[in-house]
């Protein structure tokens, strides 16, 4: 309860909404926990301050964008955001939201996922997608990458070819491969000017870490 109260406060001025919805977030995944929601919300507010958008829709979409937990290794992974969007509508229905506003929340949630390959058509969907992708980059993104690799029982790297110079990237088996295979591709896919600016800084941090990591395992 204390954790929920603290995180709900971070969603000001929507603390009441946050407190109600956070009770439905059940996960043992530390890369998609309530702290992740708070970080994404911080990114959302930074972007929204410049780009606009409906704050309440953004708050609801941020709180519920991972409300259906699907492991990275699951065959249902590409459907996770659509499942979350459907569940979010169910959770918000008792609050008396109009069908139009529920549709906006659902679209933002469905489109936020890299795996879903859904084009974000509203400013709220564009902002949420940018904000969530920012949390997959930089220091936090790297930490989440290795945390998830541990859950999937992956190795840190391929000792025979750490930089994947003579093989395809394999981020299911080698954690470091996830950086060039995905994380270092994210900066080119941002929707908003503010998101792109924030992404460039985190991209540089991710790139610097990969260079240092490879140097320490003997790749010149």
Nearest to 14 by CA among 39, 32, 41: 41
Would you say the pTM of this structure is higher than 0.85? yes
Across the 220 residues of the chain, what is the mean pLDDT of every consecutive 10-residue run? 71 93 82 90 98 98 88 66 93 94 97 88 98 97 96 96 97 97 96 98 98 96
Q: Residues with Cβ < 8 Å from 38, sequence gap 6 or more?
A: 7, 10, 11
**Exposed e or buried b per residue across 188-204, where buried means at least 16 C-beta atoms within 10 angstroms of its C-beta:** eebbbebbeebbeebbe
1-133 against 136-220: fold identical: yes
82 three-class SS: helix
As its CATH architecture, domain 1-133 has Orthogonal Bundle (1.10)
**Beta-carbon contacts of residue 209 (< 8 Å; ≥ 6 apart):** 139, 142, 179
Check whether domain 136-220 has CATH 3.40.1370.10, yes or no: no
Residue count (the chain): 220
Q: CA 178 to CA 182: how far, in whole Å?
A: 6
Rounded Cα distance, 33 and 27, in Å: 7
pLDDT at 25 (0 to 100) = 80
Per DSSP, helices labelled H in the chain are 2-10, 15-22, 34-51, 55-64, 80-92, 99-111, 123-134, 138-151, 178-181, 193-216
What is the residue extent of each domain of the chain?
Answer: 1-133, 136-220
| Nearest Cα to Cα of residue 64 among 94, 97, 34, 30 | 34
The reported pLDDT for the residue numbered 179 is 98
What contacts 161, CB < 8 A, 6 or more positions away?
167
């Amino acid at each position: 309860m204390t954790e929920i109260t603290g995180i709900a406060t971070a969603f000001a001025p929507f603390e009441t909404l946050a407190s109600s919805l956070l009770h439905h977030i059940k996960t043992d995944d530390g890369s998609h926990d309530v702290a992740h929601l708070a970080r994404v919300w911080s990114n959302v507010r930074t972007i929204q301050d410049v780009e606009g958008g409906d704050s309440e829709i953004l708050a609801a979409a941020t709180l519920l964008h991972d409300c259906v937990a699907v492991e990275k290794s699951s065959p249902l992974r590409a459907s996770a955001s659509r499942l979350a969007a459907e569940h979010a509508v169910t959770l918000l229905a008792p609050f008396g939201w109009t069908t139009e506003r529920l549709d906006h929340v659902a679209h933002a949630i469905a489109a936020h996922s890299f795996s879903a390959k859904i084009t974000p058509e509203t400013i709220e969907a564009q902002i949420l997608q940018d904000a969530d992708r920012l949390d997959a980059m930089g220091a936090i993104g790297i930490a989440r990458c290795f945390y998830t690799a541990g859950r999937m029982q992956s190795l840190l790297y391929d000792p025979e070819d750490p930089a994947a110079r003579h093989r395809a990237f394999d981020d299911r088996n080698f954690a470091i491969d996830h950086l060039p295979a995905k994380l270092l591709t994210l900066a080119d896919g941002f929707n908003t000017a503010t998101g792109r600016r924030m992404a460039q800084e985190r991209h540089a941090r991710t790139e610097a870490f990969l260079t240092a990591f490879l140097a320490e395992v003997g790749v010149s």
